[in-house]
Amino acid sequence: MRRYRSALILLLVLALMAGGYYFYTAVWPTMGGGSGDGKEDDKPAAAATENIKLVDRKSDELKTLDIEYLSEKFAAEKYTVMEKSEGSDKEREVTRWRLTNRKDFRPDSSKLATAASNFCTITSSKIVEENAGDLSQYGFGGPNAARISGAFSDGVVVTLEIGDKNPTNDGYYVRKENERTIYLGSSYSSEKILLKKAELADLKLFALEENDVSRIEMTRGGAPLFAAWHKGEYDWELEYPVIAPMNAMPEGLIFESVKDLYASSYEEVGAKDLSKYGLDNPKYSLKFDLKDKGGSIKLLFGNEKSTRSTIYAMLGGTEDVFVISLDGFGYLDKPIKEFVDSFAYIVNINDVSHIKAEFDGNTVLCDIWSEAGQNDDDKFIVNGTDVTSLENEKSKSLFRAFYQGMIGVLIYDIDTEAEPQGTPEITFLYELEKEPFTMLVEFVPKDERLYYVFRNKEYAGLLVEKRVFDKPEEGLRATYRALAEGMEKAAQDAA
């Protein structure tokens, strides 16, 4: 029993010691207690103080904010503008921020607003020194220091100076104007205020819709790759290196990549040495000529920052280097033939009234009456015979299959340097309902394997394989043979 009593006494003593320690260290200082030796406490006056408000004003009362470094200054002002919110025709008054002293770059209003908000609410976790003698040891007056001045609607102007970050990276040294008390300011708020050009620049580069653009040019390795003009809605025509319809796939990828283009960050605004980014001799460039607004937008690409992930880029007419993701720009390295429409010549059957096809000693005259969405009214005449109703075992039109055999000739490659001559072995003469109204497509032998493609007597810069005409079921010869057999059978049935 005596053993248990001794243990209880020991536990009681320990509890009293812990309680006394808590009272002395946590409660007594808040009651004004000192060290007990009749002297002032040796700790800094506010070392244990938290959440000291350095400005403590409402951000909607702030009118202007100046951020000044040794080398440059950003003077920002708040203004209101009437804007329509997305998806609404109704305008509302919104608050924006802008720079009044800089025209050398486009600032992001939201970043200025964030800087203003953090200036009004910046706090300190403690006082570092109350009557500092040497301010330079805290970075004040140095190249990284900034003087931040905010003017409020009641006429009050509050100015802070932000110096270096402390050695343990807990915060930044901050002092109020004309005071020598050094605070440890909030790291988060300080970094939202300490903005320079690269941080302030608007990350939204531009937004383009296909119908905004009249012409596109692309270069690769400093040499022209292609140029195309906007022929009609979703219809682009290459004018270099060949005259041909542009392939819809890469054309769609191009406009998808610039529909709403943002930089992930700015590397340097007003770069002096573009060579370190590979932008002195850009690897690629895209130039968009604008329709209604006039002028053009040019996007230049330099070296990759992260392999196959990000790349340095710049807008023409500037020296502001930013980083963009390569997602969506996979077409930059595609071979030129992939920018050209896949077919030697393709035209919708609804736009054709007559075709004269010559191949293998055959002359096939086709008269066509066809309208979109009106297949029941189609009429096809081949060499004077109505073949409209002729179908294969799959109930597919034999004439439409033959038509596909003529227009479905895929290109094999591009050869713009050739100067071909010779007699065509296969020709298709199309009479069209709209410009160019007549199109003569000729296939001239290059060698035993390839044909050169001519359009209206001009070399198109395209090559096709001879074997495409021999494809079973879908090639020119197979579809014509099926049509001829169908015509012969129909004649026999009618006899």
Within this chain, do residues 128 and 209 fall inside the same structural domain, yes or no? no
Q: Which of 339, 365, 398 corresponds to the end of one domain? A: 339
Which residues partner with 286 through β-bridges?
218, 299
What gap in Å lies between CA 227 and CA 159, rounded to an integer?
55
Question: Does pLDDT of 340 surpass 50?
Answer: yes
What gap in Å lies between CA 107 and CA 96, rounded to an integer?
11
**Amino acid letter for position 279:** L
Residue 220 has what pLDDT? 97
The answer to whether 351 and 433 are in contact (CB under 8 A) is yes
Q: Residue 84 domain-assigned? A: yes
At 285-330, the pLDDT tens digits run 999 999 987 799 999 999 999 999 999 999 999 999 999 999 999 9
Within this chain, do residues 370 and 490 fall inside the same structural domain, yes or no? yes
The answer to whether 203 and 105 are in contact (CB under 8 A) is no
Within this chain, do residues 354 and 224 fall inside the same structural domain, yes or no? no
Question: Which of 39-53, 110-124, 420-434, 473-487 is least confident?
Answer: 39-53
At 243-276, the pLDDT tens digits run 889 999 999 999 999 999 999 999 998 899 999 9
**Amino acid letter for position 200:** L
Q: Residue 38 domain-assigned? A: no
15: confidence class by pLDDT, cuts 50, 70, 90: low
Residue 84 has what pLDDT? 78
What percentage of residues in the chain have a pLDDT greater than 70?
A: 90
Question: Does pLDDT of 227 surpass 90?
Answer: yes
Question: Which of 118-132, 272-286, 365-379 is least confident?
Answer: 365-379
What's the whole-number mean pLDDT along residues 342-346? 94
Within this chain, do residues 305 and 365 fall inside the same structural domain, yes or no? no
The answer to whether 386 and 379 are in contact (CB under 8 A) is yes
Query: pTM of the full predicted structure?
Result: 0.72
What's the whole-number mean pLDDT along residues 195-219? 93
Tokens of 294: 């006039």
Within this chain, do residues 151 and 236 fall inside the same structural domain, yes or no? no
Q: Residue 23 domain-assigned? A: no
Question: Does pLDDT of 24 surpass 70?
Answer: no
Within this chain, do residues 369 and 427 fall inside the same structural domain, yes or no? yes
Residue 90 has what pLDDT? 84
Query: How far does Cα 410 stand from its chain's mean position?
Result: 32
At 73-94, the pLDDT tens digits run 999 999 999 887 777 778 888 9
Question: Does pLDDT of 20 surpass 60?
Answer: no
Residue 119 has what pLDDT? 97
SS in 3 state form for the chain? CHHHHHHHHHHHHHHHHHHHHHHHHHHHHHHCCCCCCCCCCCCCCCCCCCCEECCCCCHHHEEEEEEECCCCEEEEEEEEEEEECCCCCCEEEEEEEEECCCCCCCECHHHHHHHHHHHHHCEEEEEEECCCCCHHHHCCCCCCCEEEEEEECCCCEEEEEEEEECCCCCEEEEEECCCCCEEEEEHHHHHHHCCCHHHHECCEEECCCHHHEEEEEEEECCEEEEEEEEEECCEEEEEECCCEEECHHHHHHHHHHCCCEECCEEEECCCCCHHHHCCCCCCEEEEEEECCCCCEEEEEEEEEEECCCEEEEEECCCCCEEEEECCCCHHHHCCHHHHECCECCCCCHHHEEEEEEEECCEEEEEEEECCCCCHHHCEEEECCEECCCCECCCCCEHHHHHHHHHHCCECCEECCCCCCCCCCCEEEEEEECCCCCEEEEEEEECCCCEEEEEECCEEEEEEEEHHHHHCCCCCHHHHHHHHHHHHHHHHHHHC
Residue 354 has what pLDDT? 98
Q: Residue 120 domain-assigned? A: yes
Residue 51 has what pLDDT? 85
Question: Phi-psi region for residue 111, left (φ > 0), alpha (ψ -120 to 50) or beta?
Answer: alpha
435: confidence class by pLDDT, cuts 50, 70, 90: confident
What's the whole-number mean pLDDT along residues 460-477? 96
Within this chain, do residues 383 and 307 fall inside the same structural domain, yes or no? no
Question: Does pLDDT of 28 surpass 50?
Answer: no
Q: Which residues contact 358 (CB under 8 A, 6 or more apart)?
A: 364, 426, 427
What's the whole-number mean pLDDT along residues 432-449? 96
Q: Residue 1 domain-assigned? A: no
At 147-173, the pLDDT tens digits run 999 999 999 999 999 999 999 999 999
Residue 30 has what pLDDT? 39
Question: Does pLDDT of 43 surpass 90?
Answer: no
> 378-406: string of b/e by CB count within 10 Å (b at 16+)?
bebbbeeeebbebeeeeeebbbbbbbbbb
Within this chain, do residues 377 and 479 fall inside the same structural domain, yes or no? yes
Please give the tally of structural domains in the chain. Answer: 3
Within this chain, do residues 258 and 309 fall inside the same structural domain, yes or no? yes
Query: How far does Cα 450 stand from its chain's mean position?
Result: 40
Residue 105: count other Cβ atoms within 10 Å of its Cβ.
17
**Amino acid letter for position 211:** N
Question: Does pLDDT of 25 surpass 60?
Answer: no
What's the whole-number mean pLDDT along residues 388-401? 93
Q: Residue 82 domain-assigned? A: yes
Tokens of 158: 């509050």
Please classify residue 466 by burial: count the beta carbons closer than 10 Å to its beta carbon, then call 0-12 exposed, 13-18 middle and 19+ buried.
Answer: middle
Question: Does pLDDT of 48 surpass 50?
Answer: no
Q: Which of 318, 339, 360 corresponds to the end of one domain? A: 339
> Domain range for residue 248?
204-339
234: confidence class by pLDDT, cuts 50, 70, 90: confident
177: confidence class by pLDDT, cuts 50, 70, 90: very high
Within this chain, do residues 317 and 180 fall inside the same structural domain, yes or no? no
Q: Residue 34 domain-assigned? A: no
132: confidence class by pLDDT, cuts 50, 70, 90: very high
Question: Does pLDDT of 95 surpass 50?
Answer: yes
Q: Which of 276, 309, 339 corresponds to the end of one domain? A: 339
Residue 191 has what pLDDT? 96
Within this chain, do residues 128 and 237 fall inside the same structural domain, yes or no? no
- Phi then psi for residue 471, to 5 deg, are -60, 135
CATH of the domain at 330: 2.60.40
Within this chain, do residues 370 and 286 fall inside the same structural domain, yes or no? no
CA geometry: angle 55, 56, 62, nearest 5 deg: 80
Residue 64 has what pLDDT? 97
> 208-225: string of b/e by CB count within 10 Å (b at 16+)?
bebebbebbbbbbeeeeb
Q: Residue 87 domain-assigned? A: yes
